[in-house]
Amino acid sequence: MAELLDLEGLTKETIEEHISGLDDAQLVWLWNDTCDHLQWEDRVYAMDEENLENYLPDDKIDLIRLLHTSNFNFNDNYFAFRGDGNLESFSQLRSGANSPIYQNGVQEVVDYVYETECDVGDTQYGEIESEVEDKISEAVEEWLRKQDFDDLLELSVKYGVIEEDDVEGFDRTFIDDLRTSLGDYARENFDDVIEAHVFRE
């Protein structure tokens, strides 16, 4: 049997599409927000003077010890403290063994956005929801295009779009009207129609 619509999966897929379009600064901000929410210690910092002064030890001996036990290069673009207290530096956020974002994947960020309904960069969460609704509407239209006249007539009766007693008054010239009426009903009655038909293969 074909799968029913996974609305959560469709929403998370749309969130991930937006995350993939973030610039590096936006991705770091969202990642760090996720870390704060999950109480992780894997926040990412840009390799700049302000962050180095704020997060590296002031004591020279402590600094030497930390750098000695860490995989750290001042020429990299970013650094992060790992769970063992050591530093790791890296230049690529979305690839490379040292990037906590790459190691954990974006799924944790996707789940965080989905759970908290926070914005993704410049995109408000409401816009993401609207995109999901548009995808569903497109699926409804595609489903209706595949139905012939008899199918449309049967579905219209099943869902009360038309009365069974009125069936004889419809012929194939009404096919577009049936598609329109069923589409409107499907969007307003998600559980009844979309779950049952539209996202079945």
161 and 89 assigned to the same domain: no
Q: Is residue 194 part of a domain?
A: yes
Can you give the C-alpha Rg of the chain in angstroms? 26
| Domain total of the chain | 2
What is the value of pTM for the model shown? Answer: 0.73
Nearest to 180 by CA among 165, 161, 167: 161
14 and 109 assigned to the same domain: yes
Q: Is residue 140 part of a domain?
A: yes
Residue for token pair 């992780």: 40
Low-confidence stretches of the chain (pLDDT beneath 70) = 1-6, 83, 190-201
96 and 145 assigned to the same domain: no
Domain stops at, among 87, 116, 145: 116
108 and 33 assigned to the same domain: yes
Q: CB atoms < 10 A from the CB of 34, how many? A: 23
Domain stops at, among 48, 82, 116: 116
168 and 102 assigned to the same domain: no
Q: Is residue 102 part of a domain?
A: yes
85 and 154 assigned to the same domain: no
Domain stops at, among 98, 116, 134: 116
pLDDT at residue 191, rounded to an integer:
63
- C-alpha distance from residue 30 to each of 53, 107, 179 (Å): 23, 12, 42
79 and 133 assigned to the same domain: no
15 and 82 assigned to the same domain: yes
Q: Is residue 65 part of a domain?
A: yes
Q: Is residue 1 part of a domain?
A: no
pLDDT at residue 1, rounded to an integer:
24
105 and 16 assigned to the same domain: yes
Q: Is residue 2 part of a domain?
A: no
Q: Find the domain containing 134 and state its range.
A: 125-198
Structure tokens at 89: 């530096």
Structure tokens at 16: 């991930």
88 and 181 assigned to the same domain: no
pLDDT at residue 198, rounded to an integer:
62
66 and 112 assigned to the same domain: yes
93 and 164 assigned to the same domain: no
